[in-house]
Structure 1
Amino acid sequence: MSRDSYGEQLDRLTGLLAAMSRDAAAAIRGASSGLLQVDRDAAEAVLRGDALLDARRTDVEAMIPLLVARHQPVAGDLRLVLCAMRIAGDLERMGDLAVHVAKVALMRHPVTVVPPMATGVLTTLADAATRIADKTAVVLATRDPLDAMQLGLDDDEVDAAHASLLSMLVSAWPYGIESAIDLALVGRYYERYADHAVNVARQVVYLVTGDIRL
């Protein structure tokens, strides 16, 4: 294959990752609407959209062995190819976690999962996760290590909100065990979503600098 064909394949690979990041951001936004606004349509759209995210990960995984076998990439191109599979895996998992949030909302619909007492902390979790998702999409587009490192600070906000939620749930929670379990799961889903976004940022730092630390 020609060098132009190789370059086009690399562009397609990065384009797939960018599309996955946008899908993952849209998924957590929709799941949060389903959860906090009791929006059934938004939650169901997250479930439908997950198949596309899965398909794009499959496309990424199919491209990588062909690129390595046919072109034997070196240096930066090799790092891109090696990081792409890990990034795709994290983005696909982010979509799965958004699906989990949406399913909790749908399971209780039309009753809200989030009682007034927990609205503030769940809104904080949802807003922080959405912001991290949007920044992840930017980081994949710009490959700016400084932007990538900023995600660690945003993840700290998610961790703090998650800790606050758990403290609330074990401190004479007045809405029953079933409600506490629902919110404990949702909080965990948001926390893991943010962790996977940070993993994406870590891979971008490695891609650009060769340093995996974040």
Structure 2
Amino acid sequence: MSRDSYDEQLDRLTGVLAAMSRDASAAIRGASAALLGVDRGAADAVIAADPVLDQRRAEVEAMIPQVLVRHQPVASDLRLVVCALRIAGALERMGDLAVHVAKVVLMRYPVGVVPEPAVPVMTEMADAAARIADKTAVVLATRDRLAAMQLGLDDDEVDAAQERLLSQLVAGWPYGVESAIDLALVGRYYERYADQAVNVARQVVYLTTGTIRL
């Protein structure tokens, strides 16, 4: 394989990851719209779109052996293909977590999942997840270590919001055990979504510096 052909394959690989990042961002935004707006159509759309993310991950996994077998990658290229597998896995799981939120919405529809007292904290979590998704795309595109480090701070914001949500649920929650369980699960899905975005950032840092630490 010529170097030009090899570079084209690497470009295609990074392009698929960029597309996955956009898909994961759209998924969490759609799930949040479904959750906060009690929007069945938005929830259905998130679930319907998820196979695309699965397909893109499979595409990344199929490309890696071709890159490794047909060319002897230099160290930086080898890090790219190794990181690509991990990044694709994290982005695919981000999509799955958005699907989990959408499924909770559908399970309770037409009743809303988020009672009025929990709307502010759930809105905060949804907004933070959307920002994290956008920054993940930027980190992938620019490989900017400072942007990657910012993702860690945004993740802390989601963690803090989840703690406030859990405190609310155990402090005499008046909407019943079922509602409390639903919200605890949704909060956990957002927290794990943010964690997977941080995993992407860590892989980008490793790709650019050779160290996994943010």
TM range (shorter): over 0.9
Q: In the alignment, which residue of structure 2 is the partner of 1:40?
A: 40
Displacement after TM superposition at 1:70 (Å): 1.1
Q: In the alignment, which residue of structure 1 is the partner of 2:25?
A: 25
Partners of 1:200 and 1:144 in 2: how far apart?
Answer: 12
Partners of 1:94 and 1:74 in 2: how far apart?
Answer: 30
Q: Does 1:183 align with 2:183?
A: yes
TM-score w.r.t. the length of structure 1 is 0.99
Question: Tell me, what secondary structure is at the counterpart of 2:175?
Answer: coil
Partners of 1:118 and 1:47 in 2: how far apart?
Answer: 24
Partners of 2:72 and 2:61 in 1: how far apart?
Answer: 16
Partners of 2:112 and 2:147 in 1: how far apart?
Answer: 36
Opposite residue 113 of structure 1, the aligned amino acid is V
TM-score w.r.t. the length of structure 2 is 0.99
Instruction: State the Cα deviation string for residues 91-130 of structure 1 (Å, max 9, x = none).
Output: 0000000000000011111111000010000000000011
Opposite residue 183 of structure 1, the aligned amino acid is L
Opposite residue 184 of structure 1, the aligned amino acid is A
Map 1:148-163 → 2, pairs under 5 A: 148-163=148-163
Which ranges of structure 1 fall in alignment gaps of 5 or more residues?
none
Question: Tell me, what secondary structure is at the counterpart of 1:174?
Answer: coil
Identity of aligned residues (%): 78
Partners of 2:125 and 2:173 in 1: how far apart?
Answer: 19
Q: In the alignment, which residue of structure 1 is the partner of 2:202?
A: 202
Q: In the alignment, which residue of structure 1 is the partner of 2:106?
A: 106
Which ranges of structure 2 fall in alignment gaps of 5 or more residues?
none
Instruction: State the Cα deviation string for residues 37-82 of structure 1 (Å, max 9, x = none).
Output: 1111111110011000000000000000111111121121111011
Displacement after TM superposition at 1:133 (Å): 0.5
Q: In the alignment, which residue of structure 2 is the partner of 1:124?
A: 124
Partners of 1:37 and 1:61 in 2: how far apart?
Answer: 36
Q: Kindly tell me the number of residue pairs found equivalent between the two proteins.
A: 214
RMSD of the alignment, in Å? 0.6
Displacement after TM superposition at 1:172 (Å): 0.5
Partners of 2:194 and 2:15 in 1: how far apart?
Answer: 22
